[in-house]
Amino acid sequence: MTPFEKVYKLVSFVPKGKVITYKKVAEIAGIKDVRVIGFALNKNKNPKKIPCHRVVKSDGTFATGYAFGGKRAQKQKLINEGVKFLNPETVDLKRSLFKVPFNLEIYLRVIFLR
């Protein structure tokens, strides 16, 4: 399984109303350079299956190159899903960060081995 596939697979599990950070994705996918995450999403932009608007930076702010209308559109999507904000630029990670369930993490680690 290629790093890109891992990213798509993992991100597709983030539920509506929650967000995940690049750092977390990289950690679970076993990718050392977080930039690869964005690189992957940028290439294969498929909003049908990949909720890339739910991926934010570790400090809760948005990445700079969202491919579907920029930060404004991304923020709006999150608001529509019920994600809470600390301020116009920052997501409330305390309340809206997606915690990967233990069983799901195990499952992902297993399929990522291949």
Partner DNA sequence: AATTTGACAGCGA
Partner DNA sequence: GTCGCTGCCAAAT
32 versus 114: smaller Cβ distance to DNA: 32
- Distance CA(64)–CA(15), nearest Å, equals 22
22 versus 83: smaller Cβ distance to DNA: 22
Binding mask 53-72 for DNA (x = CB under 7 A): x-x-xxx---xxxxxx----
Tokens of 33: 């350079």
**In this chain, which stretch among 40-48, 79-87, 92-100, 103-111 interacts with DNA, using CB under 7 A?**
40-48
